[in-house]
């Protein structure tokens, strides 16, 4: 088994210590962006609780955090199970005595043409990225009100700009973004602040945790390529720093990349043109094979032919290794990836 990943301590200028004594709960915190956020908040003096479904990966992530001197707790919790969500804030408060920041980061990702998707796939996405966060906010609101805390929702550019072959994810992210912005309006006067984060493409290794439908190898190739291009994507460390800065400053809205800002602006100014562009992109996407298949991202990568794709996706593959993004092959079929 590969040993714990070691992250460098945040630079001195980032160690503001303004979060000393605060407690942060990150869902989907055992890998990817969630794990990097846990390191970033911990490096600023906060105690950190992370939750995830898999105990082994969660234990490894907590070991990584504590090795950096971070006071950390791991809680096994599936955000799609109401009973587990209901007691999650109680467990964190029992351990640390308070809750100051709730980061809604857990999610699943399925890539493929909509003709290969079932109603169950949409229900899974909505359960993970809309109903789960809604239930958790309800359960955590009282301790957050007591501390004058913050709710941070990690949405996606997909919440505002629909792209082909990500329909369940896009639909669920639309709902999650609406939930976050509605909470910002509804929480006025409670002392609780809400930050809506809109990432663009990020090099977090999420392609290794996604599930690919239709022609998995071809779907994997375009997805990993786009998510790994330096000019279009942002590294997980930089993304985590900007999110933590926004939380400290109590910002209400954060768009992480210039490409995401450009996409949102284009959609606002010329939605018809953007829609026509997406239709054009959809025409050149991988066709549906005569016998559609489903593969986890790691299996799709292994079966992908040709070395060119491996070269152009190098940055994303490196991110997958560094951010604890291992294969989901042994997990239940039909469930995608946490960010």
Task: Indicate which residues carry an active-site annotation.
Answer: 169
Q: Kindly write down the DSSP assignment for every residue of 15-37, as one continuous string.
A: ---TTTT-EEEEETTTSHHHHHH
Structure token digits, residue 17 = 């210590």
Cβ neighbours for 287, distance < 8 A, ≥ 6 positions apart: 215
Cβ neighbours for 309, distance < 8 A, ≥ 6 positions apart: 221, 224, 225
In order of 34, 154, 243, the CA distances from 196 in angstroms are 15, 7, 10
Element (H, E) at 271: helix 271-284
Cβ neighbours for 137, distance < 8 A, ≥ 6 positions apart: 102, 104, 151, 179, 183
Structure token digits, residue 251 = 């910002």
Q: How far apart are CA 211 and CA 295, in angstroms?
A: 6
- Cβ(102)–Cβ(151) below 8 Å: yes
């Amino acid at each position: 088994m590969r040993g714990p990943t070691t992250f460098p301590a945040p630079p001195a200028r980032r160690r503001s210590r303004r979060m000393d004594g605060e407690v942060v709960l990150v869902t989907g915190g055992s890998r990817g962006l969630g794990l990097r956020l846990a390191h970033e908040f911990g490096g600023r003096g906060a105690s950190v609780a992370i939750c995830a479904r898999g105990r082994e990966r969660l234990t490894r992530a907590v070991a990584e955090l504590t090795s950096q001197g971070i006071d950390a707790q791991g809680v096994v919790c599936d955000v799609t199970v109401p009973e587990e969500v209901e007691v999650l804030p109680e467990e964190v408060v029992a351990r640390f005595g308070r809750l100051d920041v709730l980061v809604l980061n857990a999610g699943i990702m399925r890539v493929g043409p909509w003709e290969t998707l079932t109603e169950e796939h949409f229900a899974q996405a909505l359960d993970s990225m809309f109903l789960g966060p809604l239930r958790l906010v309800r359960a955590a609101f009282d301790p957050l009100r007591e501390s004058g805390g913050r709710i941070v929702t990690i949405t996606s550019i997909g919440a505002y700009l629909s792209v082909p072959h990500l329909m369940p994810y896009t639909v669920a992210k639309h709902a999650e973004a609406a939930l976050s912005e509605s909470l910002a309006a509804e929480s006025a006067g409670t002392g609780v602040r809400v930050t809506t984060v809109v990432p663009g493409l990020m090099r977090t290794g999420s392609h290794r945790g996604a599930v690919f439908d239709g022609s998995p190898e071809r779907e994997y190739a375009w997805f990993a390529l786009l998510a790994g291009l330096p000019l279009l994507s942002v590294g997980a460390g930089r993304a985590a720093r900007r999110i933590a800065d926004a939380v400290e400053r109590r910002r209400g809205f954060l768009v992480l990349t210039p490409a995401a800002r450009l996409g949102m602006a284009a959609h606002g100014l010329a939605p018809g043109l953007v829609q026509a562009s997406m239709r054009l992109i959809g025409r050149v996407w991988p066709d549906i094979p005569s016998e559609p298949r489903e593969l986890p991202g790691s299996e799709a990568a292994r079966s992908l032919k040709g070395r060119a794709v491996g070269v152009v996706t190098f940055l994303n593959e490196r991110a997958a290794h560094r951010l604890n993004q291992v294969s989901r092959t042994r997990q239940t079929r039909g469930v995608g990836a946490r960010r």
